[in-house]
Amino acid sequence: MKRIAVENLQSLFAAVSAKKQLYIPADDSAGQAKFTLWSEGTVLTEKLNTVRSAKDLFFPQVENLVNFKVSSKKIEILENRDSSEPFVVFGVRACDCRSFDILDTVFLSDPVDTYYQSRRENGLVITLACNRPAETCFCGVFGIDASDPAGDVTCWMDKAYLYWRANTERGQELTKSLSVLEDCDESSVDAIREASKQILQKLPLNDLDLTDFRENKLLDVFNDSAWGELSESCLGCGTCTFVCPTCQCYDVQDFDNGREVRRFRCWDSCMYSDFTMMAHGTNRPTQKERFRQRFMHKLVYYPNNNNGVFGCVGCGRCLQKCPIHMNIVKVTKKLKEGMV
C-alpha cells in the first residue's frame, strides 16, 4: 500500500497526467461533479459522485462509427473511428466500477463491440472508497462494498492522506512509475473503512430486497397490475437512462453533410416514444410499456441472462435526478407488494 498527503494531490495528478490522459471528478459551472480531463488547476470535487456516470468514458454519448462517401452509384467506406488513447480515470465510486462488469457482459460478449473494447483496454480505473454515502445510495443491496471498491487501483481518503492500493498488474505498473507515492502499512485504511462501514450500515435503503425478482416468473412480473400506476406520471424523458451507469441502449444514425455521410451511434432511451417505432407503428405504444421495459430489463431480463446479477448497481442517480421522482427503488417495493 502507498499513500500521499492530501495537500500533494495535485502533484499526484500531475504525475499520472504526465503519462496518460487523466480524468477526475471536478465541479462544473453548475457546481455539480463531472469527470473532467485533468489539467493544472483542476480540483477534485467534494461531491460524492458525478451526475453522469463513469460509463461516459467507455461508452460515450456520441461516437463516430464509420464514414461513407457516396458518388452516383458508388459508395466508399472510410474509417472514422474516434481515436482512443490510453487514459486513467480517477475517483470512480464502487457502484460505477461494478457497472463496468455489467456493460462488459453486453459489449464484450460475442460479437465484440470493438469501440467499447478499445476504450476498456485503454482505460485504467482508479476507484475511491466512499466516506460519506448519500441517503439515496443502495449499492450494498447488490453486494457492493463501497468501503473497498474494485478497480485497477483502489484509493481511500481521509483528511490527511490519500491511500493507494494497486489491485491488478496494470495498476501495479502505474504505481511503480509514480515516485510521488510513499509506502505505508496495509492497516492504514482500517479506520477509514470501519468508519465508512458504520455509515453504510445506517443507510435507509439497505432493507431493499430483490430476491423475489429471481424467484417470480418473468410473465408474472410483466403482467403485474402495478405498472399502470407506477408509470402514470412518467414524463417519458431520458434522464434516468442517461444518468444510469448500466443503461447501454443505443441508436445508430447517419448525418449527411452534403459531401459525406457520417454514421454515428448515440445513447438511446427505451423511455422515448420513437425507440421501437417502425414504419407500421410501435410495439410499445404507451409510456406504460416503455417504462415497464426499462425496469423489467434491469430487474428480470438482464438477471435471467446473467446468472441472476441485476442490471442495477445502486448508485442512486435516478433517485436524485428523475423529474417526478419515480425510480427503481419505488418500482421494486411496489412490485414486491404483489408478489408471493
CB of 196 to another protein, least distance (A): 12
Applying CB under 8 A, does 293 fall inside the site for another protein? Answer: yes
Q: Looking at residues 15 to 34 of the shown chain, list those that interact with another protein (rule: CB under 8 A).
A: 28-32, 34
Can you state the angle between helices 114-122 and 94-107, rounded to 10 degrees? Answer: 140
CB of 64 to another protein, least distance (A): 9
Among 145, 140, 168, 169, residue whose Cα is nearest residue 156: 145
CB 251 within 8 A of CB 266: yes
Candidate residues 279, 307, 337, 340; the one interacting with another protein per rule CB under 8 A: 279
* 35-43, 110-118, 141-149, 157-165 -> range binding another protein (CB under 8 A): 110-118
Secondary structure (3-state) at 153? strand
Cell numbers found for residue 268: 438511446
Candidate residues 6, 14, 65, 178; the one interacting with another protein per rule CB under 8 A: 65
Among 88, 185, 101, 98, residue whose Cα is nearest residue 146: 98
Q: Looking at residues 41 to 60 of the shown chain, list those that interact with another protein (rule: CB under 8 A).
A: 48, 51-52
Q: How far is CA 20 from the centre of its chain?
A: 22
CB of 131 to another protein, least distance (A): 10
CB 248 within 8 A of CB 103: yes
Q: Looking at residues 226 to 265 of the shown chain, list those that interact with another protein (rule: CB under 8 A).
A: 229, 232-233, 235-239, 241-243, 248-259, 261-265
Candidate residues 182, 209, 323, 339; the one interacting with another protein per rule CB under 8 A: 323
Nearest residue (CB) to another protein, 18 versus 324:
324
Burial status of residue 1 (CB atoms within 10 A of its CB: 0-12, 13-18, 19 or more): middle
Candidate residues 114, 143, 173, 214; the one interacting with another protein per rule CB under 8 A: 114
The DSSP call for residue 246 is: S
Applying CB under 8 A, does 113 fall inside the site for another protein? Answer: yes
